[in-house]
């Protein structure tokens, strides 16, 4: 692996519909746009991005397992599974790199079922409510956290 390592950007259910899906809430940018934002920030800081989107909980778990020993960080927007998936929680708990949770919208300002994230306890932090900017901020958070932990 060149540079500072691989960041897995993981996208959960319905995020493939971004751009068309409830644009008043999620904006008009597509998932490809957000991955491009993350990639630009990663290139600027010496990381490489790999992106995976799936609508299936088990595939998210397997993607996290597959990142073990390979990726230095995971930036995860698990969509509605953020609020329900203990199997994703456990998979992320077994990942030894940095985990940053991202949401385009601000779940705390929406329906009560969105107020709890079950992956929040195994993330270093959460960036929510800033739309696509969140993906750049998430890469910057990874950059800072890894710089801090390596002392560079
Ligand atoms: C979301 C927020 C979730 O509550 C929702 O189910 C999504 C998208 C966001 O990015 O704002 O699918 O994760």
Q: Which domains does the chain have, with CATH numbers?
A: 6-79+96-147 (3.40.50.9100)
Q: Give the whole-angstrom CA distance, residue 109 versus residue 93.
A: 27
Q: Whose CA is nearest to atom 13 of ligand 1?
A: 79
Average of per-residue pLDDT across 133-141: 98
Q: Give the whole-angstrom CA distance, residue 144 versus residue 107.
A: 25
Site of tokens 């949770």: 101
Task: Give the dihedral sign, CA 59/64/65/69.
Answer: positive
pLDDT higher than threshold 90 for residue 150: no
Average of per-residue pLDDT across 12-33: 98
pLDDT higher than threshold 80 for residue 106: yes
pLDDT higher than threshold 60 for residue 151: no
Average of per-residue pLDDT across 97-108: 98
Average of per-residue pLDDT across 115-119: 98
Average of per-residue pLDDT across 90-113: 98
Q: Residue 121 burial by CB count (10 A; 0-12/13-18/19+): exposed, middle or buried?
A: exposed
> What local confidence, expressed as pLDDT, does residue 152 receive?
44
The tokens describing 9, both together, are 């950007």
Mean pLDDT computed over every residue of the chain: 96
User: 105: CA distance to ligand 1 center in Å?
Assistant: 7
Instruction: Check if the beta carbon of residue 72 is closer than 8 Å to that of residue 104.
Output: no
Average of per-residue pLDDT across 67-72: 98
The tokens describing 110, both together, are 């929406």
Please state the atom number of ligand 1 nearest to the C-alpha of residue 13. 12
User: Ligand 1, residues 16, 30, 31, 77: which to mutate, most atoms within 8 A of Cβ?
Assistant: 77
Residues 6+ positions from 34 with CB-CB distance below 8 Å: 18, 104, 132, 135
- Of the candidates 26, 34, 89, 135, the residue annotated as catalytic is 26
Would residue 103 show up in a list of annotated catalytic residues for this protein? yes
Would residue 135 show up in a list of annotated catalytic residues for this protein? no
Average of per-residue pLDDT across 98-127: 98
Number of C-beta neighbours around residue 128 at 10 A: 19
User: Which pTM does this prediction carry?
Assistant: 0.96
> What local confidence, expressed as pLDDT, does residue 81 receive?
98
């Amino acid at each position: 692996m060149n540079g500072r390592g691989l960041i897995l950007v993981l996208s959960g259910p319905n995020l493939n519909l971004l751009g068309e899906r409830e644009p008043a809430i999620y904006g008009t940018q597509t998932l490809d746009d957000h991955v491009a934002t993350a990639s630009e920030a990663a290139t600027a800081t010496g990381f490489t991005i790999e992106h995976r989107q799936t609508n299936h909980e088990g595939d998210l778990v397997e993607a996290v397992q597959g990142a073990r020993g390979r990726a230095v960080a995971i930036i995860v927007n698990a969509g509605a599974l953020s609020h329900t998936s203990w199997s994703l929680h456990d998979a992320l708990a077994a990942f030894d790199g940095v985990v940053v949770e991202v949401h385009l919208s601000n779940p705390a300002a929406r329906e009560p079922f969105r107020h709890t994230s079950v992956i929040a306890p195994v993330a270093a932090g959460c960036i929510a409510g800033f739309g696509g900017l969140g993906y750049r901020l998430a890469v910057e958070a990874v950059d800072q956290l890894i710089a801090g932990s390596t002392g560079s």
